[in-house]
Amino acid sequence: MTTWLGIDPGGRDTGVIALDRSRGQAPRLISHETVTRTVDEDTVDQTRGVQVGPRYLAEVLDAVDRAIGTATAVTGGAPRVAVETVVPPNPHVTRRDGNSLTNPKDAIAAAIVLGAVLTRWPDAVRVPPSRNGRALLATYPPELVTQAERRLGLSRPAQHKAKACHTRSAWDVALAGPGYARAAHAAHLTRQEPLL
């Protein structure tokens, strides 16, 4: 039995899920949680900071600890941790509102959360952003799809507006974790000194 924990770090919401990836069976959701930052934690100038602080980071790490505890109790083994990384904002992307200026605040806030996760779990598998959480709604467990989304049909891509998008992204990160773990291991082996 292989258990994976997926984390989608964000400055406002962070998704955390645990799933069982037993060989020969479809992945099974064990637990899921979205941690929402409810207060701005910049103490000096709340208009200029990214609002992420120790309270929110502690809530995220507590959620990950809970997911690890639940997964360990259900499967009998500690899960591997996979976390989505952060890429620099692309200033050339035009948003729906027509504005092409990108505010780096969200990427910076997510990077702070990512740093907290990697500090606690330095061996976490790092999964790059790649439309995580945007697959067809039918590919996600029912718990990760809202009633409103179901009414419009499951044969369409998940949208990034729903609260469940963070747990869906964490689901995709957990699914991608084993592949990125193998790639990281292979890259490590190729960097080793040749045997004489």
pLDDT one-digit tens code per residue, 151-174: 888 888 787 777 789 999 999 999
In sequence order, what DSSP letters do the residues of 95-106 get, joined into one string?
A: PTTS--PPPTHH
The domain of 157 spans 3-42+49-88+104-190
Ramachandran sector of residue 24 (left: φ over 0; alpha: ψ -120 to 50; beta: rest): left
Over residues 72-99, mean pLDDT: 81
Q: What's the whole-model pTM score?
A: 0.87
Q: Is residue 72 part of a domain?
A: yes
The tally of domains found in the chain comes to 1
Q: Is residue 196 part of a domain?
A: no
What's the per-residue H, E or C state across 125-142?
EEECCCCCCCCEHHHCCH
Give the pLDDT score at 154. 82
pLDDT at residue 5 tops 90:
yes
Q: Is residue 99 part of a domain?
A: no
In sequence order, what DSSP letters do the residues of 26-73 get, joined into one string?
A: --EEEEEEEEE--S---SS-TTTS----HHHHHHHHHHHHHHHHHHHH
Q: Is residue 98 part of a domain?
A: no
CA dist., res. 64 & res. 130, Å (int): 22
Give the pLDDT score at 47. 64
Q: Is residue 163 part of a domain?
A: yes
Q: What is the pLDDT of residues 130-144, one digit of tens each?
A: 889 888 899 999 999
Give the pLDDT score at 21. 85
CATH number of domain containing 74: 3.30.420
Question: Amino acid letter at 97?
Answer: D
Q: Please provide residue 3's backbone torsions phi and psi, each rounded to the nearest 5 degrees.
A: -110, 135
Over residues 69-78, mean pLDDT: 94
Q: Is residue 80 part of a domain?
A: yes
Q: What is the pLDDT of residues 33-64, one digit of tens each?
A: 999 999 888 776 666 778 899 999 999 999 99
Model confidence at 106, pLDDT cuts 50, 70, 90, reads confident
Q: Is residue 136 part of a domain?
A: yes
Token pair in block for residue 93: 């992307």
| Number of alpha helices (DSSP H) and beta strands (DSSP E) in the chain | 4, 5
State the chain's mean pLDDT as an integer.
87
pLDDT at residue 187 tops 80:
no
Burial 142-165 (b: 16+ CB within 10 A, else e): eebbeeebeeeeeeeebeeebebb
CA dist., res. 175 & res. 137, Å (int): 15
Cβ pair 181, 125 in contact under 8 A: yes
* 17 sits in which H/E element: strand 13-20
Q: Which residues pair with 28 in a beta bridge?
A: 20
Q: Is residue 96 part of a domain?
A: no
Sheet holding 28-36, edge to edge: 28-36, 13-20, 3-8, 80-84, 125-127
Give the pLDDT score at 31. 96
